[in-house]
Amino acid sequence: MNSYFNMNSRKQSSIISWLRLVRLPNLFTAIGDSLAGLCIASCVTGIGFGLWKLALLPLCGVLLYAAGIIMNDWHDIPDDRRHNPDRPLAAGLIAPSFALLVAIVMALAALALAAFLGRLTFLVAIVLVLAILAYNNILKRYPKQGAICMGVCRMLNLMLGVAAVKVTADIAIPAVTLLSYIAYVTYLADSENRKVQIPDKNVFYPAIIFGVGWLVSAITVLRVHFCGSFFVSLICAILGAGLAAFAGMRVYNKSIRSNEAHAFIGSLISALIPMQASAIAMAFPAHGILVIVVAVLLWAITVALGKVFRQS
């Protein structure tokens, strides 16, 4: 009987270790990237999409995101043993070689899905894999270049959805907004391992970046396409920018420790969900309230999971 319970305990511990490794809360935000791209492209081009794309694109994006995260921790094992010894690979809870194999299988499965979704989607997926490899192997050593590359990775995840419909110049501002937001959040995260720090006004820049990006998109590109979903999109945008600003207010000009810095970065990542919903709402004008409800629920789940699993 004891051996049975011990075996069960080991299985649960292994599952939890894998969920920690792939940053479980962040997977919900990876789902929204490609969906946002799909919905923006459908809105501005008037081209519809099937439910199968609505199902397969998020899976493709999540697989690539999880693969990138695993590769990131695999490369970081020496540093994590000093700074984050509790992480699954650094702590020896998961065999590094097996983790790398799983990441490769995930990436190949995502590429196969992308190929099924279309030639252009497959091309974007290949570029995304190359960007992930560039970040993990070279650019992460350089804070600014690494942050920009991470933003490019997120933008390419959005472009997976765009490529499944049609790529147009109208997508540029929303894509650059996501790139800039993630790049700046990644840049802020570079200092999260300091024992004590006092954040300055730059903690408000992510909220400003998204707010300005959404407003410029609304005025220059999307105003004729919003139709009945405009106000739903506006509500989601205000919620997303507000959550990012509130996260900044909680740490601004205060002495915070590394665990509080990690929580701050996690809050900025979680704020992506209502931000993504502001784009997704455009494709579903008749279901705007449902989009808001789902976005709020997913955000709440992500925040709750973030208290158990680190997001950065």
Quote the mean pLDDT of the chain: 87
Lowest mean pLDDT among 3-7, 51-55, 100-104, 251-255: 3-7
Q: Which pTM does this prediction carry?
A: 0.89
Say how many C-beta atoms besides its own lie within 10 A of residue 243's C-beta: 22
Distance CA 120, CA 273 (A): 26
pLDDT at residue 6 in the model: 45
- φ, ψ dihedrals at 114, nearest 5°: -65, -40
Looking at residue 223, its pLDDT comes to: 62
Tens of pLDDT along 14-51? 888 899 998 888 898 999 999 999 988 888 888 888 88
CA 147 to chain centre: 13
**Which position has the token pair 């974007």?**
124
- Asked if residue 79 has pLDDT above 50, the reply is yes
Is the pLDDT score of 10 beyond 80? no
| Residue 37 exposed, middle or buried by CB count within 10 Å (0-12, 13-18, 19+) | buried
> Which domains can be identified in the chain, with CATH numbers?
22-306 (1.10.357.140)
For 151, residues 6+ apart whose C-beta sits below 8 A from its C-beta are 178, 179, 180, 181, 182, 183, 184, 186
